[in-house]
Amino acid sequence: MEKLKINLENLDNVFPENFSPEQIAKAKTLFLKKLSIDAHKFYGGKIQTVPKAPVLGFNWFNVWYTPGVSKVSTDIRDNNVNSYDLSNRGNLVAVVSDSTRVLGDGDCTPSGGLGVMEGKAFLMKYLGGVDGVALCIDSKDETGKNNPDKIIDFVKMVQHSFGAINLEDISQPNCFKVLDVLREECDIPVWHDDAQGTACVTLAGLLNALKLTNRKIENTKIVLLGAGASNTTIARLIIADGANPANLIMFDSKGSLNAERKDIEDDKRFYRKWELCLSTNPKHIKTMEEAMKDADVLISLSTPGPDTVKKEWISLMAEKSIVFTCANPVPEIYPYAAKEAGAYIVATGRGDFPNQVNNSIGFPGILKGALMVRAKKITDNMAIAAAHSLADYAEKRGIDIENIVPTMSEAEVFPQEAADVAMQAIKDGVARVIITREEAFNKAKADIEYSRTMVDKLTNEGFIKEPPQQMLNDALAWAIDKMECKK
């Protein structure tokens, strides 16, 4: 094929003209997967350790290491709070996973989660000015079952080296217990990004979608497809922010959540789902068809599509319906199909479609805000404050039906979000350090600019090499060939 200069910001024009919208969407997915595996192999992963102090001569190692560093150790021994000032702890996050539910690929074995966890650390650094370390662990006990207590014990043991913990890709129901126990028993913030992060950004997108369709959250009928960690937390935050739980109907793989679901009531591990069984769907609606009739909003975090959500369901919804289909790597229905069925605003978790409702615009700023005030935990109020910060930022710069939330390219959103989260932490009484909003904003902005400038300079000076164009061309040719073979 002809060698193209491929622009990852707009892939639609690189595929054959005779490809349908569905074929283009599938080809994009194939291309990105092939490019990802090749690029990771080329770079050997995407994170490395770089000193933040200079080496002005080899005698400086007597300062950075022994004997001088002995004073650092004894000062921290005498007052552990000094660890935030004398080490990188105050800006360091552990990204912890047992890799039992990696994206839509299920259990990938502990080391199988490294690609995602390194990616999390990459985004933390570039978008939030926060250092992250990927820690993929084996949570199986002697019976061979994944035991949440092993994750809890591990995090409790390593918390003294970090300013916060980011939990990731832990299967349910273990994820519920792990988060709830660690939030209460650790001295640092423990954040489950699949749950709280996704919920925060989804709420932000929903707030602006409701503004564009002249709806009030308390009067909005919402259907949620999928009842895992993400959607159950989304439901909880939406309700906490003013939605009427009687207007929510949630479905898992066995049907709707309601007070008659004795299977959920009897399994105490699913206590979060049972709470929603008792508070939502008071009419005990059983089917998606009945639930979707005149529904204002569909929020789906379920099985990857593209046929998980049916066009017929969307056609039953109210006018100017709002559809969030956020399964990864393939949404439950492609945006073009959802719009063909009558959806007015469509969002996915993908960055190559409009309206990416993805936690990448949430956790870098949220964790930065919590770290700056040395928060003891991240409260639900802090997550809701972050959602409103994101929504307000987008509204001020202008929103429309294909642009309801900020994107990762809008650097200014992250210090704004960090500052708002820091202020909410102070308000909630979980901050160890009191600073002004201006101080928080300036600190976050300076750290983010430092991180971005460092990566850009390393790239410009060749320490980080640009990927060869041939790699992109080969991935594109491979994807097109795969699609041609399916015709």
- Type and span of the H or E element at 93: strand 92-97
> Which three-class secondary structure state does DSSP give residue 120?
helix
CA distances from 39 to 44, 45, 81, 133 (A): 8, 8, 40, 20
Active site residue 34: no
> Which three-class secondary structure state does DSSP give residue 61?
helix
Active site residue 450: no
Q: Taking a C-beta distance cutoff of 8 angstroms, is the pair 338, 417 a contact? A: no
DSSP sequence for 46-59: S-----SS--SSGG
Supply the DSSP symbol for 467: P
SS3 percent helix, strand, coil of the chain, rounded to 5, is 55, 10, 35
> Which three-class secondary structure state does DSSP give residue 135?
strand
Rounded CA separation 340/336 (Å): 6
Q: Which amino acid is at 246?
A: A
Rounded CA separation 334/307 (Å): 9
The one catalytic residue among 26, 28, 34, 120: 120
Q: Taking a C-beta distance cutoff of 8 angstroms, is the pair 79, 360 a contact? A: no
Other CB atoms within 10 A of residue 60 CB:
13
Q: Taking a C-beta distance cutoff of 8 angstroms, is the pair 295, 321 a contact? A: yes
Which tokens in the block code for residue 390? 């994101």
Q: Name residues whose C-beta falls within 8 Å of residue 287's C-beta, 6 or more positions apart in sequence.
A: 256
DSSP sequence for 287-351: -HHHHHTT-SEEEE-SS--SSSS-HHHHHTSPTTEEEEE--SSS-SS-HHHHHHTTEEEEEES-T
The one catalytic residue among 3, 41, 43, 65: 65
Q: Smallest Cα–Cα separation from 138: which of 102, 99, 186? A: 99
Q: Name residues whose C-beta falls within 8 Å of residue 334's C-beta, 6 or more positions apart in sequence.
A: 21, 22, 25, 305, 306
Q: Sign of torsion, CA 115 122 32 460?
A: negative
In sequence order, the β-bridge partners of residue 345 are 322
Question: Which residues are tagged catalytic?
Answer: 65, 120
